[in-house]
């Protein structure tokens, strides 16, 4: 018995899971005479051992591939940790903790109003998560009016919806409607609503086509091309009429849709106003955006060094970019092309003492990493009269239908002795 038992233990099994089985026996015609090798047998064992082992309650209590503390035949420890097989871990995705978001949000809130603060690595900051949520509308506070449990829960008690305190009765609803109507009329009514289509009356339409220059769709498309391609935007202002040549529409557009772009004011033609006037305007504008006083001239310029140093600082701040583009925008005839010629020390852009000389945008290389973009002058229609349009210098005087009609408004704004001194009149 002992010898027979010992012989049975040493006898090789003929099971298909035994890699050392005897292959000298007659091979099956169905199998094609092939046998499983050791690698195939080990893989099949792994498949079978990976099945979940459950108890009588159906809970998983075993199975190497199903256990939370094992990865195959290896126990998961701090040294042999396993990354979750999720594609989000291997994509171009960054993770951030809520505490870090709160810290970033506080810093952004304090520094957002500072025009002299610059985010060095904006791409690594989750700007979409840092942006504060928009203010909720009056009708959006549903949970404050009624809770979810009292409306949709198992113990709901609501029989009719509550529309809020203002719509609790018909009288309150009429009062709120009258209040909204009064606010709409005080704002300007249909004239201030851009969604209302209306026809211009005879006194609202321009009397001549010359007053609509610089407002075409083509000119505005050229402007938006320059804004999209620029990292730094230089808005050129005329020192003689800074409020009239400052475009609040472009500032709101950049603040809303392109907050990552840098806006700088260039007060050009400072030689045509007294020094104390230019100094006060620079001090007032510097509270909103960086401001530089400038006098465009190839031979005798002012502010050129300060502007070049500022552009070099922006180039260093954006060291991750191969180059930066500087777009120069503004009203017609404020000296945009003259500023580029001053920086280049030669005439690279066509200039003229009349508005509308630049027709399309132009790309100029200032340095190896700094490029300038010249743009045509754009006039934003803010509902001003024709006198304001003429005083801004956006209309050619020789094309006015009646130039003498604008002499009286000019004399009302300027003292006669100043005009006599400027033109040598008695």
Q: What is the DSSP string of 7-34?
A: HHHHSPP--TT-TT----SPPPTTTTT-
Angstrom CA distances, 397 to 353, 354, 393, 403, stand at 11, 9, 8, 7
> So where are the chain's domains?
37-98, 215-374
Strands (E), 27-148: 53-54, 60-62, 70-71, 74-75
Question: What pLDDT does residue 71 have?
Answer: 58
Question: What pLDDT does residue 214 have?
Answer: 60
Nearest CA among 87, 336, 321, 80 for reference residue 233: 336
Question: What pLDDT does residue 18 have?
Answer: 79
Counted residue by residue, the chain has a size of 426
Question: What pLDDT does residue 325 have?
Answer: 92
Question: What pLDDT does residue 222 have?
Answer: 86
Question: What pLDDT does residue 244 have?
Answer: 85
- Identify the CATH assignment for 215-374 out of 3.40.50.300, 3.40.50.1100, 3.30.470.10, 3.30.70.260: 3.40.50.300
Nearest CA among 268, 414, 237 for reference residue 339: 268
Predicted structure pTM score: 0.60
Residue 29, token pair as written in the block: 């015609």
Give the chain's residues under pLDDT 50.
1-3, 5-11, 133-139, 191, 198-206
């Amino acid at each position: 018995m002992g010898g027979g038992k010992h012989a049975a233990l040493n006898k090789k099994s003929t099971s298909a899971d035994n890699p050392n089985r005897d292959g000298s026996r007659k091979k099956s015609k169905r199998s094609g005479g092939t046998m499983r090798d050791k690698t195939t047998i080990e893989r099949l064992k792994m498949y079978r051992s990976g099945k979940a082992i459950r108890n009588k309650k159906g809970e998983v209590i075993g199975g190497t591939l199903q256990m939370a503390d094992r990865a195959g035949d290896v126990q998961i420890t701090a040294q042999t940790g396993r990354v979750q097989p999720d594609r989000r871990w291997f994509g171009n995705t960054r993770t951030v903790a809520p505490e870090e978001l709160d810290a970033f949000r506080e810093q952004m809130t304090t520094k957002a109003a500072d025009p002299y603060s610059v985010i060095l690595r904006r791409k690594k900051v989750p700007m979409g998560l840092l942006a504060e949520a928009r203010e909720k509308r009056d009708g959006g506070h549903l949970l404050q009016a009624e809770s979810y449990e009292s409306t949709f829960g198992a113990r709901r008690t609501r029989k009719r919806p509550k529309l809020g305190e203002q719509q609790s009765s018909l009288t309150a609803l009429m009062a709120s409607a009258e209040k909204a109507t009064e606010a709409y009329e005080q704002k300007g009514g249909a004239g201030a609503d851009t969604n209302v289509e209306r026809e211009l009356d005879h006194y609202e339409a321009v009397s001549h086509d010359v007053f609509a220059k610089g407002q075409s769709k083509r000119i505005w498309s050229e402007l938006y091309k320059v804004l999209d391609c620029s990292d730094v935007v230089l808005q050129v202002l005329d020192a003689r009429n800074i409020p009239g040549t400052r475009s609040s529409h472009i500032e709101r557009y950049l603040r809303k849709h392109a907050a990552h772009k840098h806006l700088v004011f260039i007060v050009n033609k400072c030689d045509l106003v007294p020094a104390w006037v230019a100094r006060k305007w620079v001090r007032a504008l510097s509270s909103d955006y960086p401001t530089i006083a400038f006098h465009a001239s190839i031979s005798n310029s002012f502010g050129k060094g300060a502007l070049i140093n500022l552009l070099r600082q922006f180039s260093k701040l954006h060291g991750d970019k191969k180059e930066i583009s500087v777009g120069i925008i503004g009203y017609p005839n404020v000296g945009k092309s003259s500023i580029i010629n001053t920086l280049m020390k030669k005439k690279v852009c066509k200039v003229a003492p009349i508005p509308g000389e630049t027709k399309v945008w132009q790309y100029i290389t200032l340095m190896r990493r700094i490029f300038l973009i010249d743009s045509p002058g754009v006039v934003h229609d803010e509902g001003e009269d024709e006198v304001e349009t003429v005083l801004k210098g956006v209309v050619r005087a020789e094309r006015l239908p009646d130039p003498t009609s604008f002499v009286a408004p000019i004399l009302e704004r300027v003292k006669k002795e100043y005009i006599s001194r400027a033109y040598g009149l008695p």
